[in-house]
Amino acid sequence: MRKTVIAGNWKMYKDLKDTEELLQGVKAQAASAPSFVTVIVCPPFTSLQLAGTLLRGSAVKLGAQNMSEHDEGAFTGEISWKMLKSTGCEYVILGHSERRQYYGETDAKINLKAKKALASGLLPIICVGETLKEREGGITEQVVATQVKGVLDGISASDMERVIVAYEPVWAIGTGKVATPAQAQEVHAQIRGLVAKLYSQSIADKIVIQYGGSVKPDNAAELLAQPDIDGALVGGACLKADSFAGIFKSGMQK
């Protein structure tokens, strides 16, 4: 049975005061979330330490939004796995489309980050997804397959069981244009099929594939009801405790 994994990507929102306020609300709501749902918050780096302290002993897990592929060194502005782990982080989002689009992250770089995260014991949430132009050009499957193969290159079968893949069509992120449940399910099934080919059917059956892109409390249930949609990566709607809770309470067990 796969768990439902709902992660909130706070992006570049929330200072320390806002972090405290939002987490009080999320913690309170998560206490009554179904037990098969894993709730993760991914605040900005500056809030991780505070979040780690506030979430200790609660049901809410902590994740980061990015991580360096290096262990340490002269990499100004970067954050290492060790730093993340020292705050209580267990998860890290890698290769978000905003990282790809604005900071030039490639599949090869995301692959290095994923390997580093796995080697250090962090659980990577690796994002893939096509642009509007690619969807309209009828090459969604091809684009997503290239990304999946690229980001997973050289990752062993035992490590793969710990990977979460987030399918996030770029055209649906922050636009209010959610993929229909059928559109999302189609790509999720393709990703799971590809993982079965690259690894095995049993690994494909085990891994969590999240959908991301304009997930809201009023569309979460129908997305999560799809057989291959095992969770959500939520942006805008995770910035208020009530709307985030509306999503993680609509989870279904697969």
Residues that bind ligand PGA (CB under 6 A): 9, 168, 173-174, 212-215, 233-237
Amino acid, res. 62: L
Catalytic annotation present for 188: no
Interior CA angle at 149 toward 147 and 154, to 5°? 130
Residue among 124 and 212 whose Cβ is closer to ligand PGA: 212
Min dist. Cβ of residue 169 to ligand PGA (A): 10
Closest residue to bound ligand PGA by CB: 235
Shortest distance, position 39 Cβ to ligand PGA, whole Å = 15
Cα–Cα distance measured from residue 208 to residue 143, given in angstroms and rounded to the nearest whole number: 20
| C-alpha closest to that of 53 among 26, 88, 18, 22 | 88
The closest of 115, 120, 125 to 92, measured between CA atoms, is 125
Taking the least distance from each CB to ligand PGA, the nearer of 155 and 172 is: 172
Kindly write down the DSSP assignment for every residue of 14-30, as one continuous string: --HHHHHHHHHHHHHHH
Return the number of other C-beta atoms located less than 10 Å from residue 184's C-beta. Answer: 25
Catalytic site residue from 69, 105, 168, 188? 168
70 is catalytic: no
Q: How far is the CB of 7 from ligand PGA (least distance, A)?
A: 8
| CB of 127 vs ligand PGA, minimal distance in Å | 7
DSSP category for residue 34:
-
Nearer to ligand PGA, 125 or 207 (CB): 125
Tokens of 72: 């340490």
As given in the structure block, the two tokens for residue 76 are 């100004």
Catalytic residue, from 69, 96, 98, 130: name it.
96
Nearer to ligand PGA, 66 or 199 (CB): 66
The residues annotated as belonging to the active site are 96, 168
